[in-house]
Amino acid sequence: MDGRDNNGRFVKGHAKTGGRSSRQNEDQFKGLWNKKFTPKKFEVILDKLFSLAAKGDMTAIKLALEYSMGKPIQKNEITGADSQPLEIRVVYDDDNNE
């Protein structure tokens, strides 16, 4: 069989089931990240970001603003036909059929 049960579902532990990697692998990658991404390197990256933003790079400007000010709230207005106010009707079924 191809690693599936009688209902066609993958059996537990099968390689094709995917999912997140083990915590041990994650900790290993986090350790490597922290070793390579030092505060000095972070400062160099921030300097480059703000330098690009100051030169008018819109992507850098957007990134700098989103991380420092937060993303703007996106507002969506929903209207009915011909931009008229949306009508919402609620109908209750009366259970008192005595």
Cα(23)–Cα(25) distance, integer angstroms: 5
Q: Backbone phi, then psi, for 10, in 5-degree steps?
A: -65, 140
pLDDT tens for each residue of 60-95: 999 999 999 988 888 887 887 788 888 888 998 876
User: Global pTM?
Assistant: 0.48
Q: 91: number of CA atoms within 13 Å, CB side? A: 2
**Under 8 Å between Cβ of 80 and 87:** yes
Q: How confident is the model at residue 94, as a pLDDT? A: 78
pLDDT tens for each residue of 18-54: 667 778 888 889 999 999 999 999 999 999 999 999 9
Cα(57)–Cα(71) distance, integer angstroms: 18
Q: How confident is the model at residue 66, as a pLDDT? A: 92
User: DSSP assignment, residue 4?
Assistant: B
Residue 65's region, left for phi above 0, alpha for psi from -120 to 50, else beta, is: alpha
Q: How confident is the model at residue 49, as a pLDDT? A: 96
Cα(51)–Cα(42) distance, integer angstroms: 14
Q: Is 94 helix (H, G, I), strand (E, B) or coil?
A: coil
Domain ranges of the chain: 37-69
Q: How confident is the model at residue 78, as a pLDDT? A: 82
Q: How confident is the model at residue 39, as a pLDDT? A: 92
Q: How confident is the model at residue 82, as a pLDDT? A: 82
